[in-house]
Chain A
Amino acid sequence: MFDYTFQWRSALRALPDMLAGAWVTFETAALSMIFGVLIALALTVMREAQQPVLRGIGNAWVSIARNTPSLFQIYILYFGLGSLGLHVSSWFALLAGITFNNAGYLAENFRGGLKAVPTTQMRAARSLGMSAFQAYRMIIVPQLLRVVFYPLSNQMVWAVLMTSLGVIVGLNNDLTGVTQDYNVKTFRTFEYFAIAAVLYYLIAKLIVAVARLMAWRLFRY
């Protein structure tokens, strides 16, 4: 029944390449988080706006991002844009897809966080002579970020896990892509993917640990 010899040594020889892939994975996730947070803040403000067009765009973005698979979003960006004549690289499609997804989920988190910031804060800031933008930047957003810090670090872990979808649209330099490359060369599927799983686990744990440290440092008082 069990006639399979594991070849860990040859699989471990691929570790340097896979670590390089892990770095690409991390970079992609971090970039998508940075853009995602910025877009999500814009979306949050848009959904609070009086103007129906802005509100509609914000709501549509959030509901599409939350109600369709992230793989589908990447597909639309990769194949759909291609059919319109915009040929994007698979890395760009992956980054844009994850950013779209992140922005949708984070906007929903931010909306919840915004409710936790008392409206009197905004009024006080405005009556102290700040413009609306200044009030948002210096009063509301810092308080908001404190409330949503844990959802934010969770979403970062999610973003790392989502980058593994890039391999389906043909990305071959992130962690899963490198693993898949080795896999098709050697057919040692289990060994390579087990190492990839361990690396993903370590990345996720690292992010959680750093987030804890940051929270401890930032929100001390």
Chain B
Amino acid sequence: MFSTSFTWNDMLFLLDGAWVTLQLTFWSIMLGSVAGLVFGLLRALLPRASLPLAWVLDVFRSVPLLIQFVLFNSFKSIVGLNISAFSVGCIVLGVYAAAYFTEIVRSGVLAVPPSVRRASRSLGLSYLQDLRWIVLPMASRVAFPGWLNLVLSVMKDTALVMWIGIVELLRASQTIVTRIQEPLLVLCIAGLIYYVMSLVVARLGARLERRWQEND
């Protein structure tokens, strides 16, 4: 009853998929963090001028990710860009992450009380110094939990790239299921890998958060 045709090689195949998932998460978070940081600062410091930016980013948050993948993938073929499906996944997920991270950065910067910034300016810091030494440390502590949540949610959303033909963890498990016909076991293993990956990231983040709070 408990015999299974799930072999060690299948496990390695799943772990390969998990590695692709992690890579996708890493690159899209890198892209999303850099873009989101710039956009978020723009949104917080020039709220009027960057209003069109907010509308554009809002679109990325109100259209399903699956449709964004398909749209960008076909748009890429229409324009004739010759990039791999992996890069398409990274770009779409990165823009998606940027759309969310912009709001996180914005609320973080706005959480710094104006009186603190006025105090720093009246102590003789320039505008940029004020941003670098006062706003950045305070805002990053506010924004960090949001960023961590974003990392976790992007990691889960990478599962959708299977639709444009990248073999990541879920797609890998699907391939094995088609071969050995034991969906429950294979899917449970895949789920466990996702669960462990999220848990590790969450724990690391919580530890970092605690260390930051010690100095406050």
Contacts and interface: CB of A to CB of B under 8 A. Distances in A.
A67 B184 contact: no
Interface string B63-102: 1111110110111001110000000000000000000000
B73 to A, nearest CB: 8
B190 interface: yes
A190 B78 contact: yes
Interface residues of B, number: 40
A69 B71 CA distance: 22
Contact of B75 (A67, A161, A190): A190
A67 B159 contact: no
A201 B78 contact: no
B62 interface: yes
Interface residues of A, number: 37
A45 B17 CA distance: 38
A80 B183 contact: yes
Interface string A42-75: 0000000000000000000001100111111001
Interface string A148-182: 00000000010001101101100000001001000
B163 interface: yes
A79 B177 contact: yes
B63 A200 contact: yes
Interface of B: 59, 62-68, 70-71, 73-75, 78-80, 152, 156-160, 162-163, 170, 174, 177, 181-184, 187-188, 190-191, 194-195, 198-199, 202
